[in-house]
Structures are given as C-alpha cells and as structure tokens.
Structure 1
Amino acid sequence: MEGLSLDGWLPIRVWQATGQWRVDWCWFGEARLSQPFFSDAVEQALRLPFNQAFRRQTPLGALDQWKQQSPGLLPSAFIFHASRCGSTLISQMLAQLDDHIVISEPPPLDTLLRSDMAHADRCMALRGLMSAYGQRRRGVEQRLVIKLDAWNIGELALLRECFPDTPWLFVYRDPLEIAVSHLRRPGMHMVPGMIGTSVLDDGLPFSGQEDFIARRLGRLLRVGLERCHEFAGLAVNYAELPDAMAGRLAVFFGLDDAQRRQVFAMAGQHAKQPGQAFAGDSEDKRREASSTLRDQVMHWAQGAYEALETWRPDSRPGFG
C-alpha cells in the first residue's frame, strides 16, 4: 500500500488478460465530469498530451489498495433506466452542481457487474471502483451519483449487497416512444449479440428488428418493475421531467433551494447534445410507429409499463 499514488487518476477500463484482471487509468486532474457520458469525458481526457505520453495500468487489487489508502465518497444514488427516457437529463442536471460527482454509464462498472470473477472478489472490486470515482479531486465534492447502463438493472441485487444504504430510482417512458427511438438509432442492447449475455435475454427466436426491440424492452420494464417492488425503488416517468427535479426528485437527491434552481440552468438544452435546444418528440415518435411495432409493443411491453404506472404513485423518495 505504501507508495501508491493515484491522485487525479480515474479507472477507464477493466479487462482480463492471461487470467489476470487489470485496470487502465487515465489522468483527469481536477477536471469536472460534465459530459453526458463517462466515455465522452474519457475521450476528451485522452487527447491531453500527458495522457498520450503516459498511461497507467495496475492489477485489479489496486482498486482496493487505493480505497484503503484514500477512501472516496460512497455512492449517494444510483440511476437505473429503461433507456431513451430522460435519465441523461437527470444526470446532466445534477452535473451542474459543483459538489456532485456524476458518473454516467462507466464501462468498467458494467464489466465488473457482469464478470465471472468470484463473488467476494467482485464485491471488493466494485467497492474499490466506486471509491476511485468518489475521490474528492477538487476538494469540494460531497455526493457521488452513478447512472448505470440500462441492462444493469439485472445486477441491482449485487449493488444493493455492496451498497445497501444507497437509494436508487428507475426511469422509464411510454414503451412505444422508446421503441421508435431504438428503431431510429439502436442502442447497444437493442442489437443482437452486441452486449453479450444479459438479463434482457429470453432465449426465444425473433422475427425481425421490431419484434426483437419490443421483447427486449418488455423484459427491461418487467425486471425494472420487479426490482422496484423487491428493493423499494423510486419509479419516475419521463413525463415528470424536468419539473420533478424541483419536487420529489429534489427530495430524493437531497437538493436545497439553491441547488434546485441551479440544476435548471441546462433544463432547456438537449441532454445528449449540449448546446442544442431540447424539443419534445413524443408525438412525432408515436406517429412514426408502424402498426407492426404498435402490436409488438402492446404484446410485450405495455403490461409492464402500466404496472409501473400503478406502482409509481406509491413509491416514496428517500435519501441515504
């Protein structure tokens, strides 16, 4: 442990080589993570001459070693979502706050959550990874918020075991609107074989893209509903945004009056394309949906969506 110094460095990749797990680190210094996704921040950081000249790789055990030497913030909240439903808007609004660290869909987290390493080793690595992301690199940070990949709802139980006191929410949207978005530009989990084995797999043959997307989406919403019941998740509909960030989500995230005002500084911008104005597209998406897609979504996903709508008024915000 003595002599290890990773001040200003963050894990950007975790992988297995010749039977050994390794961590790739990138130097961020005191730079804030304000980009829509962690991968965007990594891409920008890797352009720095320092990172082009110097790279750090360590054994996986360095995560726990660094945690013991320099404990970071524990996660304040986890954001799970059904994809294309406003979770990036929430994370980008929180990223406006100087005392918040917001990490959005970091690949190393997904790798560890779905790895085949021994359970105890995986829990230790997850705690070490979160501690690394929770380092107070600028000295003012007070909270760490993690937004996960959509399919990581399948690993919620593991995260709850590692961080039992961290509250979480599940953001979702009318499934027909989500499905149209993925038909326009499929997410990784909506392309057969792209993400490997996940909770979204049902093992059934599919007849085409519309069938595949509707089934995956239905599975995602059902698992989200099940986890909300099992682990007392806060259900949030896209239609509540952004106003909920001044109401029940402000309570959930523990925002004071000044912070509630501050998060709305970017509410009119496109969350995934900063600098562009946001324009609602729900009606356009519904008009664009084919009759086949409507039938598939109704069959595979509508029931879970309606059940989430029934659960939503009964879910209660809390902040740990």
Structure 2
Amino acid sequence: MNVVSPLANWIPYRLEYIDQDWLVHWLYLGDKRMDDPFFDETIRYCRSKQRRVSRFESSSGAALLKANDMTALKPKAFVFHVSRCGSTLLSQAFAQSESCISISEAPLLDEILRSNEHDPSVSNAQREEWFKAALSWMGQLRTGRESSYIIKLDSWHIHFYGLLREWFPEVPFFFLTRRPAEVLASHKKMKGIHMVPGLVDPLLLKMKGWDGEAVKWDFNLFAAGVLMHYYTELRGILELGSRFNRFFDYSEGAKEMLESFSEFTGIELETKMYERLKFHSKSAGLTFDTEPKVEDVSTVACREAYKEFINAI
C-alpha cells in the first residue's frame, strides 16, 4: 500500500531572519497547480485559502527543509533573463502541460541566494543545501504525470551565475535577452523592483553608489545602468563557454524561442504551448497585440554592451 506523506502538497515559500535565527514559512497547495505567471500569485491564492481554515501561520526552523522524503524531479533547466524579454511567456507556455512543473520567480529562491545579506555567517554550502532542498519540495511529484521541471529565476540572478553553475554543473541554463529600447520601454510603463533605486541591493545590481539618496536620481538612467550590467555579465558568461548554456534573443520570435528551448532541454512541445503564445504573458485572458515602436531611453553604454554581447554569440 502506498503511504501518502503528511507533508505532501506542502512547500516552503518564505525564508525569514528573526532574532538571529532563520524561520521557514510553509504553504499548503492542495490541488493547486503552480502555473501562475509569477509564483507570488500562487502564494496569495493558497494563503487566502489557508486563512479560511485557520488564522495561524505554518512555520518551522530551517532544519525542516531537509526533512523531505517525497519523490521529486531534478531541475531540467534554469531560465535566466534580463526582464521583459519573453521569459514569463516561456515559463507560461510550458506550464500549460501537466507533465511540466514550471516555477516562475519564487521569492524563496531569491531569499536563499541573498540570505547572507541578513546574516554574513551563512556559507555557500549552507545556501546550496537550502536552495536544493527548496527545489526538491517544489518539484515533488503530486499527480504522477510530471516529468519535466523548469525554474525561471529573477533577472538579477544573472549575477549569481558562478554560484549556480557550481551547484548545477550539467543542468541546462537558458539565457534570454532583448533589445534595450524594448526592455526599458516596458519598464517605463511599469517598473520591476530591480529598476527602482533602493528596492534591490545596488551592490548586487553592480550599481554601487545608488543607495539611500538614489530616489533623487534619474530612474531611466538607473534602469539603463542595471540593464547594461546584465549584458556585460552575459558577455562574460558567454566567454567562459559551456555546452550547457544557450543564449536566445527575443527579437528572433516567440515561436522560435519555444522551439530553441525545447531542442536545448529535450522537453517536448505540445500544441497548447504554442496556443499560449497568442496571449499576454502575464494574463492568459488578454490577446497579445504586436508592440508598437518605442522611444529608446537607453544610454549609449547600454546599447554598446548589448551590441557587443549579440555580436559575440
């Protein structure tokens, strides 16, 4: 007889440093698939359901992260991106298949990677243990139909490439880029947190000097600087060389992006994945319209960094 673990369908979703100790918060998924455009949406939905049952939160010490005895998939690919370059559409397309677990920007993974910002004593070995344990919880087999596991990271995790490649030496890393004018035009409409000075550690973004007084600076200039450093970092990764890395620019097309990722990772495409490309990446209910030409607010340095990277591919 198969015994279902009492922790089945539970996943860790937040890591918090309180009173010199680490606390893990837990989320009960029930039968909810993790197929939202962003993992924050899954968290909000499940927490709302939990509050109807109990006013208490489920939390534990970090040691419970290692207590997973359930069968879980290993990551099939990590998706890196410069933001607003098709990564959400890519993760959404593969999320359409019940055979694919597609995690999109889970806050917990970022909190683990950046845990030493709160506690400098956290070692790389500790972060690796937590990170892999978190992936195992989120990659648990819940229906028995799952066969592929994709993790889309936050854009600034490009700067964690060395660490992540050390932890996952043979896992495919798929890097998505886009022309700077189009990326920055999207952020001009609605900025991501990494494009707002002070919301993400400026040292992490390679933006030393943009600290507490940064809000007085030009937001477009800051965003162009962040993007420039992404391209510069990607050029360095490209020069390192790895057969487990692939680079794709969104200007080549959404369909081509899907097919390149499939060919690289070995994850088979389904008709429903192509169908998802017809709709807005962040809202499956909105039909996608071709984007109009945009004003280029990128700096010369940003455009040059992009051009150097693209010419090197």
State whether TM-score is above 0.5: yes
- Is the CA contact (8 Å cut-off) linking 2:13 and 2:26 kept in structure 1? yes
- 1:124-203 map, 5 Å: 124-203=129-208
- Is the CA contact (8 Å cut-off) linking 2:202 and 2:208 kept in structure 1? no
Matched with 2:104 is 104
Q: Which residue, 227, 241, 247 being the options, matches 2:253? A: 241
Query: CA 1:57/1:238 → structure 2, altered by over 3 Å: closer, same or farther?
Result: same
1:17-38 C-alpha deviation (Å, 9 max, x unpaired): 1111111111002321111000
In the alignment, residue 280 of structure 1 is paired with which amino acid? Answer: T
User: 1-side partners of 2:73 and 2:289: how far apart?
Assistant: 35
Query: CA 1:7/1:50 → structure 2, altered by over 3 Å: closer, same or farther?
Result: farther
Q: Could you tell me the percent identity over the aligned residues?
A: 30
1:160-194 C-alpha deviation (Å, 9 max, x unpaired): 22222211111111101111221221110011110
Matched with 1:316 is none
- Is the CA contact (8 Å cut-off) linking 1:27 and 1:51 kept in structure 2? no
1:279 aligns with 2:282: no
In the alignment, residue 265 of structure 2 is paired with which amino acid? Answer: F
In the alignment, residue 248 of structure 1 is paired with which amino acid? Answer: S
- Is the CA contact (8 Å cut-off) linking 2:79 and 2:151 kept in structure 1? yes
1:22 aligns with 2:32: no
TM superposition outliers: structure 1 runs of 4+ over 6 Å: none
Query: CA 1:130/1:160 → structure 2, altered by over 3 Å: closer, same or farther?
Result: same
Matched with 2:64 is 62
How many aligned residue pairs are there? Answer: 297
- Is the CA contact (8 Å cut-off) linking 1:154 and 1:198 kept in structure 2? no
- 1:208-223 map, 5 Å: 208-223=218-233
User: 2-side partners of 1:231 and 1:4: how far apart?
Assistant: 42
In the alignment, residue 59 of structure 1 is paired with which amino acid? Answer: G
- Is the CA contact (8 Å cut-off) linking 1:170 and 1:228 kept in structure 2? no
Which 10-residue stretch deviates more, 88-97 or 233-242? 233-242
> SS at 2:24's partner residue?
strand
Matched with 2:305 is 304
Unpaired runs of 5+ residues, structure 2, are: 117-121
Matched with 1:250 is 262
User: Aligned-pair distance for 1:282?
Assistant: 4.7
User: 1-side partners of 2:37 and 2:235: how far apart?
Assistant: 26
Query: CA 1:249/1:4 → structure 2, altered by over 3 Å: closer, same or farther?
Result: closer
Query: CA 1:182/1:276 → structure 2, altered by over 3 Å: closer, same or farther?
Result: same
Matched with 2:91 is 91
Unpaired runs of 5+ residues, structure 1, are: 313-320
If the length of structure 1 is used for normalisation, what is the TM-score? 0.86
1:207-265 C-alpha deviation (Å, 9 max, x unpaired): 51221111111011111222233253211111223221553222023133xx3433112
User: Aligned-pair distance for 1:59?
Assistant: 1.2
- Is the CA contact (8 Å cut-off) linking 1:225 and 1:308 kept in structure 2? yes
User: 1-side partners of 2:203 and 2:279: how far apart?
Assistant: 32
- Is the CA contact (8 Å cut-off) linking 1:83 and 1:178 kept in structure 2? yes
1:120-150 C-alpha deviation (Å, 9 max, x unpaired): 1111111101111110112211111000110
In the alignment, residue 192 of structure 1 is paired with which amino acid? Answer: P
> SS at 1:75's partner residue?
coil
1:257-304 C-alpha deviation (Å, 9 max, x unpaired): xx3433112110001122000112151x23xx4xxx3xxx24221122
User: 2-side partners of 1:246 and 1:269: how far apart?
Assistant: 14
User: 2-side partners of 1:268 and 1:279: how far apart?
Assistant: 9
User: 2-side partners of 1:260 and 1:229: how far apart?
Assistant: 34
1:113 aligns with 2:113: yes
User: 2-side partners of 1:175 and 1:162: how far apart?
Assistant: 30
In the alignment, residue 270 of structure 1 is paired with which amino acid? Answer: H
Query: CA 1:190/1:16 → structure 2, altered by over 3 Å: closer, same or farther?
Result: same
> SS at 1:301's partner residue?
helix
